[in-house]
Structure 1
Amino acid sequence: MDAVLLGVGGLVLLLVGAELLVRSGSRLATRLGLSPMVIGLTVVSVGTSLPELAIGIDAARSGSPGIATGNIVGTNLANLLLVLGLGALLRPVAFDRRTLRYDLPAMVAAALLLFALSRDGSIGPAGGVLLLLAAVGYVVLVLRTSPREEVTAEADAGDGRGGPPAQLLVLVVSLALVVLGAEWLVDGAVQGALVLGVDEAVIGLTVVALGTSAPELVTMLVAVARRETGLAVGNLVGSSVLNIALVLGATVLAAPGATIAVPPDVVDADLVLLVVATLGTGLAMRTGSRLSRPEGGLLVLGYAAYLTWLVLTRV
């Protein structure tokens, strides 16, 4: 019962937080002369990656590396296949030129870097530092390559809903709701899964990954409904990069001995699939600078097939 209550409460907070997140992020971007994509790639991406960071550090320090690494790999798979796929299935998702030129290559590079660092079964201090440097480099790239948009007189004068400070406060509150909601949802799901005796790496790849992907999923669905997919797509791509570079880098350095083990099954199967999924999704994004409904459906089917394989072979 406690697990169910935690899960339901977390879902409610996620829904409320995601709605506020899309609204405040779009308004703040307009007021500051930034595109919603830039806000999604930076502020929102970091905010929605906080659940992964908290879970990763806690899991590493408590001696559960399977949850820490499985969560990152599983979350990125869910983001690319499930979240982006559902968004495109509901409404074709378009990508601007700078996303195709800079952010997609960064997403592919992050997946390849993780794959290379994990091949010997662990990531050490040097790998953790390299990942964090990659995160800093990516944020700098976003800020340097994102053109500012002209601030209109109407936007500068205000729309009766508060100026940038007020909107920034709403953005922070909405991120807090999303993070807290994700934590509750994950806690409830993990409690239920552990009762069933499921392996911790599988829990990280499925239950925890789906829970920590919930902010991106709900944000995407709300953004699609409001026809404001720029922020949601930026959030999704930015989170996919920062989950690996920032979250995993910080997790490694916070772990005992600044080293974290990567389970053999994750290295040999799930990481390979992540690289393939990232390359495939990136190629699909570049085709016509958009994802169509059929392509979105294929991504969702791919994720369903992955979950089925996990259940049949590793539970």
Structure 2
Amino acid sequence: MITQILLAVAGLVLLTFAADHLVLGASRLAARLRISPVVVGVVVIGLGTSAPEFLVSALAAARGDTGIAVGNIVGSNILNLTLILGVAALIAPLAVDSAVIRREVPLAVGSVAVFAVAALAGLSPLTALLLSAAAAAALFVLVRWARGGGNQELIAEVAGFEAEGEAVIVAPVKRSAAWFEPLRTVLGLAGVLAGAQLLVANASVIAAQLGVPQLVIGFTLVALGTSLPELVTTIQAQRRGETDLVVGNLFGSNLFNSLAGGAFIGFAAGADRPGTATVALLSAMVFTALLAWALLRRGLRLTRADGAVLLGAYALTLPLLLAG
């Protein structure tokens, strides 16, 4: 048991480190290819920062551990908008631009609801096709909004990301050799795959040895581990006063987790072993998304009291999981 726990922790560390390098390498490579900063921000960075959730869930589903796969996505979605957003609000109140509340946040909440319906029906290749189409449509809309609004904040975010890296990376500002970023991207992807395999394989063994349902392990241990990059990034952004970035990243992560992550699970699981979750847990996921949205809409800000409410909402999901 101790060996499996240590290997799972090693997988988490490798996953977090490699995912940062994967996203940083991909974003710098895209910039070298003269891809629009808006596209880099929405597609490369947005999808890339959710890579741990995607790949962990896809590998778990391919191994037949669909409980871990679905629990990871549901748990990450709940964690992002309760524990992580709540911690950010406790550090300092968040003020949010009204445009984010009117456009990106409702799109993310709708994506979570779509994923809940798909998971209730069973994540299979058929529902994966529908989720893939929804993900492509959401990406198109996000890029269109970002371009149409002349999103200077997003452009500045991409420039800062490429210059400094994200989370635990401290990257040199000087321009690297032409071969370095493709190599960084490939090695980052390999590291994410290796870390995900280590995490999933050992989490599955831990669940079996403890007699705990895979859904519980996926919702707690795996989801918390794959959400660590969002937690670190959120705290850093909040300390710099980039509150729109905090909210946009967390809701954006839920959008990509739900649509792209759900599609990964459906394709990997196959038609005979679709991924599902309990009605109670899926309802809790949708409720926490609606709660965070409602608190933000009320005054275009989150107070410390609102942060405490979100943390309380996370605590209430744990009994629901055990009861289910």
For the pair 1:214 / 2:228, whether they are aligned, the reply is yes
Task: Please state how far the C-alpha of 1:189 moved relative to its aligned partner.
Answer: 5.2
The aligned residue for residue 310 of structure 1 is: 321
Task: Measure, in 2, the Cα distance between the counterparts of 1:232 and 1:216.
Answer: 9
Q: TM-score, normalised by structure 2?
A: 0.75
Q: Which amino acid aligns with 1:274?
A: M
Q: What amino acid maps onto 2:211 in structure 1? A: G
Cα shift at 1:261: 3.6
- Paired with 2:286 and 2:79, the residues of 1 have a C-alpha distance of 13
Structure 2 portions without partners, runs of 5+: 165-171
Alpha-carbon distance between aligned partners in 2 of 1:57 and 1:24, rounded to the nearest angstrom: 22
Q: Does 2:272 match 1:234?
A: no
User: Which residue matches 2:44?
Assistant: 43
Separation in 2 of the partners of 1:184 and 1:82? 25
Is 1:244 aligned to 2:255, yes or no?
Answer: no
Residues 249-272 of structure 1 show CA distances to partners (whole Å, capped at 9, x for unaligned) of: 132123323872414xx2x21111
Counterpart in 1 of 2:217? 203
Residue identity (%)? 37
TM-score (norm 1): 0.77
Instruction: Please state if 1:149 is matched with 2:152.
Output: yes
Query: 1:87, 1:296 within 8 Å by CA — same for their partners in 2?
Result: yes
Q: Is the 8 A contact 1:48 1:178 kept in 2?
A: no
Corresponding letter in the other structure for 2:276: V
- Is the counterpart of residue 271 in structure 1 residue 272 in structure 2? no
**Amino acid of the residue matched to residue 291 of structure 2?**
G
1:257 is matched with 271
- Helix, strand or coil for the counterpart of 2:64? coil
Indicate the residue corresponding to 1:5 in structure 2: 6
Q: Summarize deviations over 1:24-65 as a string: whole Å, max 9, x none.
A: 999999x99958xx8665433312322222222222222222
Measure how far apart 1:185 and its partner are: 5.8
In the TM superposition, 1:175-190 aligns within 5 A as none
- Between the two proteins, the alignment pairs up a number of residues equal to 303
Going from structure 1 to structure 2, the CA distance change for 1:188 and 1:127 (only over 3 Å counts) comes to closer
SS at structure 1 position matched to 2:152:
coil
Aligned-partner SS, 2:212: coil
C-alpha change, 1:214 and 1:179, in structure 2 (3 Å) is farther
- Cα distance between partner residues in 2 of 1:168 and 1:34: 17
Instruction: State the superposition RMSD in angstroms.
Output: 4.0
Q: Any stretches of 5+ residues in structure 1 without a counterpart?
A: none
Change (3 A) 1:209 1:141: same
Structure 1 counterpart of 2:122? 122
Aligned twin of 1:62: 63
For residues 187 and 243 of structure 2, the distance between their equivalents in structure 1, rounded to whole angstroms, comes to 18
Does the Cα contact within 8 Å between 1:41 and 1:234 map onto a contact in 2? no
Whether the 8 Å CA contact 1:33–1:148 is kept in 2: the answer is no
For residue 90 of structure 1, what is the aligned residue in structure 2? 91
Task: Point out 4+ residue stretches in structure 1 off by more than 4 angstroms.
Answer: 7-29, 31-35, 38-41, 163-191
C-alpha distance in 1, partners of 2:93/2:19? 20
Q: Compared with structure 1, are the counterparts of its residues 64 and 187 closer, same or farther at alpha carbon in structure 2 (3 Å cutoff)?
A: closer
Aligned-pair CA distance for 1:227: 3.5
**How far apart, in 2, do the equivalents of 1:239 and 1:292 lie?**
22
| CA displacement at 1:22 relative to structure 2 | 11
User: Shift in Å at residue 131 of structure 1?
Assistant: 0.8
Partner residue, 1:136: 136
Contact map agreement 2:203 2:217 (CA 8 A) in 1: no
